[in-house]
Amino acid sequence: MKLRLTLNGTARQLDVHPMRRLLDVLRADLALTGSKEGCGEGECGACTVLIDGEPVNSCLVPVAQAADHEVVTVEHLADEALMSDVQAALVEFGGTQCGICTPGIAVCATVALEREPDASRERLRELLAGNLCRCTGYQLIIDALADAQAARAAAARGHGAERGTGHPGATAS
């Protein structure tokens, strides 16, 4: 079927089987390979993309359901060559491990920090509970997000603090 959608800010037209998974269309047809397939069953979150700002598992979305909606993938989080603060924090803190879960974490965490800028570490864990890291490296991931969160809060207070202290576990004040 022919459908239109907005993908990473650009209007696109596709001619696809409606039941194909959005994940496969993104990766195979559109060469957006940032979104990963982990489990293919909506358990692991490695394929997380945004549809109209909501994080969803793209392995569970038939592409027809993306028609006339706005899809954002991990490729669109960065501004040209510059990583977003969430991505930069994940790199700096080593919240990446093998890397398969990282794109989904970056997408979901971006939403989490926007929606709940004051989320506690415990709440951050709940918001990220749909993203499984099988290297079990959650500590550094949460450290990274807490750092990005603290840097945003400091910036909002006008302190203009540099994001990141370089010390895992530390939070900018």
Binding region for other proteins (CB under 8 A) out of 6-14, 26-34, 123-131, 155-163: 123-131
Instruction: Report if residue 137 touches other proteins, rule: CB under 8 A.
Output: no
Instruction: Report if residue 149 touches other proteins, rule: CB under 8 A.
Output: no
> Residue 27 has which token pair?
């990766």
Nearby residues of 5 by Cβ (< 8 Å), 6 or more positions away: 11, 12, 14, 66, 67, 68, 69, 70, 71
Instruction: Report if residue 19 touches other proteins, rule: CB under 8 A.
Output: yes
Binding region for other proteins (CB under 8 A) out of 12-20, 84-92, 149-157, 159-167: 12-20
User: For the residues of 59-80, what is the DSSP string, one character each?
Assistant: GGSBGGGGTTSEEE-GGGTSBT
Pick from 7, 112, 133, 142 the residue near other proteins by CB under 8 A. Answer: 112
Element (H, E) at 6: strand 2-7
Instruction: Report if residue 89 touches other proteins, rule: CB under 8 A.
Output: no
Q: Which of 140, 131, 158 is nearest to 56 (CA)?
A: 131
Q: How far is the CB of 100 from other proteins (least distance, A)?
A: 16
Instruction: Evaluate whether 85 touches 24 at the Cβ level (below 8 Å).
Output: no
Residues that bind other proteins (CB under 8 A): 1, 17-19, 21, 24, 40-43, 45, 48, 51, 54-57, 59-62, 64-65, 67, 108, 111-112, 126-132
